[in-house]
Structures are given as C-alpha cells and as structure tokens.
Amino acid sequence: MNDKYEKEITANLERGKESIAASGKLVEEGYFDFAASRAYYAAFYAVSAALLNEGAEFSKHSGVISAFHKKFIKTGKLEAKYGRDLRWLFELRGIGDYGQTAHVSREDAGKAIKTAESLLQSIKKLIKT
C-alpha cells in the first residue's frame, strides 16, 4: 500500500464497504434508485483507493473513470469487465439520480450491488489490504 496515502486509501475502502451495506438496506426498503447510486459510489470509492495507491488523485468522476481505465484496465492489472462494470454503474447512477421519469429496477439495483462488491474485492486484492 502507498504509505503517503494509506489513511485515504483505507478510508475509501471503508466507505465502499459501508456504501454496499447501505445499498442493501435501500433495496430492502424499495429505494432502488438510491441503492444504485450508493452501489456506484461504493465502486467509485474503491477505484479512488486504487488510484491513490498509484499516487494519482482526481476531483471529477470523469477523471477517476478515465484514469482507472488507463492505469488498470488497459495495462491488464484488472480484467476488462471491471471497466465495463464501472461505466455501467455510472450510467445506472445517472438514471437513479437524474432519470426524472426513468427509474432503476429492483433487478438492476441488486445487480449493481453485486457488481460493486466484486469490484471492491478485486481492488482490495490488488492493493493487498
């Protein structure tokens, strides 16, 4: 783990774990839009931790997603499916947060949680926490 960012990396991974737990509770209560948003944020925190481990900081979601693809997917450090998963979660979050009349289904919310959990676990292994 990158010593310079150890606290930030650990905090991001913990937020990712908490966001997944919150997503599950939101699904149980029928709040599928908000569950999808939390699932995306779980992935976002995990990806941010991975980038911090590489010494890279970004303030915009688009920068985080782009850098993740460049540093982890294109280099083969992580499977290409994780790049597709992150983009899908980002798009789903857009529906959940800004979809107006469109909404996230129970099925997609559940899939989002599993997808975020898989990405989080893969990043934890990569960082070796």
Query: What residues does each domain of the chain span?
Result: 3-127
> Which pTM value belongs to this model?
0.94
On the question of pLDDT at 129 being above 70, the answer is: no
Mean pLDDT, rounded, for 77-86: 96
pLDDT digits (tens, 9 = 90+) for 60-73: 999 999 999 999 99
pLDDT at residue number 2: 83
Residues 11-18: what's their mean pLDDT?
98
CATH class given for the domain over 3-127: mainly alpha
CA distance 12 to 17: 9
Helix (H, G, I), strand (E, B) or coil at 125: helix
